[in-house]
Chain A
Amino acid sequence: MNEELDSQLSAMFDDELAPGECELLARRLSRDEQLKARWGRYAVIGAAIRSERGVRLNAALAGRVSAVILAEPALAAAHGAHRAAVRWWQPLAGAAVAVGVALVSVLWLRAQVPFAGAPRNAHLTATASVPAAAVVAAAAAGAPDSYVVPRAPAVRAMVPSTELANYVVAHSVFSSPVARRNLLSAFMTSESGTAAEEPPDEPQGNVH
């Protein structure tokens, strides 16, 4: 195995290779099964380090996708042949552009931190964790700026100002359990940037 090539592969995997070199290596990667397998194991190593529980590291997923794709027309030959796919996709593009980096960083954050508790590899986290609490600004007292009810022009989807958030939280204690869940759910998800969804098949329908 060519060590320089593998070193490039490792850098490309981390998106740390110059674009020109990427072009060349991408070409080779797409054809060289051995290189591809190595690339796949790099991904497995990353997943194992992140201790992504419930995720099977030996899943046959890649092989299954590959098999389906093999039966598909190659894309260059199939321009315009995917009407349905286009319609399905377009609202997404707008959202992705509009929401941009902030959403991604949240996703990344959440993808990388297990839902509860520390990763199993304690020695790994110890190496690199940022002392979050130490950085926190103790800006408790003042902050009058954040206490203006926004001039919501219309009735819809008011941006939950800190003030409204306070009210909602204080009120939630006095709601019935179901109403509280509705209220807090709406509060958790308001203005979260996932507009432009296609509506689900179901909700309003099956009413008895």
Chain B
Amino acid sequence: MSADASDLSLVRRVQRGDKGAFDALVLKYQHKLVKLVMRYVRNPAEAEDIAQEAFIKAYRALPQFRGDSAFYTWLYRIAINTAKNAVVSRDRSPIEYDLDRNNDESYDMQGRMKDSETPEGLVLTEEIRSTVNAAIDALPEDLRTAIVLRELEGLSYEEIAAAMACPVGTVRSRIFRAREAIDRRLREVFEGGLGRAEELG
């Protein structure tokens, strides 16, 4: 399987002027990019702003993307640079040093949630997470293993096939069925909480 064919097919479309294809790239990588940027800034809202800026920079630079490296490699480097610049030029927009409170509340290694993290956002994120976890728990063992090896361990279908001693086609089908089962539960949350009806059809 040629690596990156999926991203590349979308990238080529964007390069030919199809903006809708860029949406798909953003949807796919937004969480990973925010997660990456969260190493530089603690505040989720700020991380999202930086990720947004990185996506837009990437869009504008896309004509020069030749596919020498994987798209996400390229995208990640743009995000790192954007985050660095944002942090370095922060003298303009002051930083919060959290030095005054000798806070004993639970210490969060991933950065504490600032007030900009709206309660609503948190609740929904937690709801999504617990929905996904519950859906995974309810999966048959072979589906659960397949999706976890894919999403948590990042294994390719071929590696998963080797690990589960089954054909690659079976892996593809198991992962798809796992996603569908989880997605069925997830749609209810999105419908209830986000009102993005136009996306849900």
**Any A–B CB pair closer than 8 Å:** yes
Contact of B31 among A46, A95, A96, A197 (CB under 8 A): A46
Which residues of B sit under 8 angstroms from A89, Cβ to Cβ? 57, 61, 64, 78
Q: Once the chains are docked, how many angstroms separate the CA of A114 from the CA of B55?
A: 23
- Distance, CA A123 to CA B201, complexed state (A): 34
Interface of chain B: mostly helix, strand, loop or mixed:
helix
Q: Identify which of residues 1-20 in chain B touch chain A, using a CB-to-CB cut-off of 8 Å.
A: 1-10, 12-20
Contact B199 A33 (CB under 8 A): yes
Q: Give the size category of B's interface with A.
A: 35 or more
B44–A65 CB distance below 8 A: no
Interface string of B160-200 (1 = CB under 8 A from A): 00000000000011011001101100110010011010111
Q: Are A54 and B110 in contact (CB under 8 A)?
A: yes
User: Does A58 lie within 8 Å of B30, measured CB to CB?
Assistant: no
Whether a CB of chain A sits under 8 angstroms from the CB of B93 is no
B88 interfacial by beta-carbon distance below 8 Å? yes
- From A135-143, A169-177, A181-189, A199-207, the one touching the partner chain is A199-207
Q: Which residue of chain B is the closest to A116 with respect to CB atoms? A: B109
CA distance A29 to B20 in the complex (A): 8
Q: Does B113 contact A (CB under 8 A)?
A: yes
Q: How far is the CB of A173 from chain B (nearest CB, A)?
A: 26
> Contact at B76–A104, with CB atoms within 8 Å?
yes
Instruction: Compute how far the CA of A204 lies from the CA of B129 in the bound complex, rounded to whole angstroms.
Output: 45
A62–B30 CB distance below 8 A = yes
Give, as a whole number of angstroms, the nearest-CB distance from B117 to chain A. 7
- A41 and B199 alpha carbons, distance in the complex (Å): 10
Taking a contact as CB atoms under 8 Å apart, the answer to whether A114 and B110 are in contact is yes
In the complex, the answer to whether A97 meets B183 with C-beta atoms within 8 Å is: no
A22 partner, pick from B9, B38, B44, B153, beta carbons under 8 A: B9
Prevailing SS type, chain A contact patch: helix
Given the interface contacts A65-B26, A75-B14, A116-B109, does A49 sit within 8 Å of B64 by beta carbon? no
Complex Cα–Cα for A55 and B128 (A): 12
* Segment among A79-87, A144-152, A154-162 that sits at the interface with chain B: A79-87
CA distance A42 to B173 in the complex (A): 15
A15 touches B148 (CB 8 A): no
Q: What CA separation (Å) do A9 and B124 show in the bound complex?
A: 26
**Is B138's CB within 8 Å of the partner chain A?**
no
| Complex contacts, A179 vs chain B, CB 8 Å | none
Q: Across the interface, do A72 and B128 meet the contact criterion of CB distance under 8 Å?
A: no
The answer to whether A41 touches B187, judged by C-beta atoms less than 8 angstroms apart, is: yes
Do B88 and A125 touch across chains, with their CB atoms under 8 A apart?
no
Ranked nearest first, the 5 interchain pairs of A and B with the lowest CB-CB distance are: A30-B20, A76-B17, A37-B199, A47-B31, A200-B88
B residues sitting closer than 8 Å to A (CB atoms) are: 1-10, 12-24, 26-32, 34-36, 38-39, 42, 44, 47-48, 51-52, 55-57, 59-64, 66, 68-70, 72-74, 76-78, 80-81, 84-85, 88-89, 91, 108-111, 113, 117, 121-122, 124-125, 128-129, 132-133, 136-137, 144-145, 147-154, 156-157, 172-173, 175-176, 179-180, 182-183, 186-187, 190, 193-194, 196, 198-201
The interface of chain A, by Cβ under 8 A from chain B, is 6-7, 10-19, 22-23, 25-27, 29-31, 33-34, 36-59, 61-62, 64-66, 68-70, 72, 74-79, 82, 85-86, 88-90, 92-93, 95-97, 100, 103-104, 107-108, 110-112, 114-117, 119, 121, 123-125, 127-128, 194, 197-198, 200-203, 206
A selection of 10 A-B contacts at a CB cut-off of 8 Å is A29-B24, A33-B201, A54-B47, A56-B34, A58-B128, A66-B22, A112-B152, A112-B154, A197-B81, A201-B88
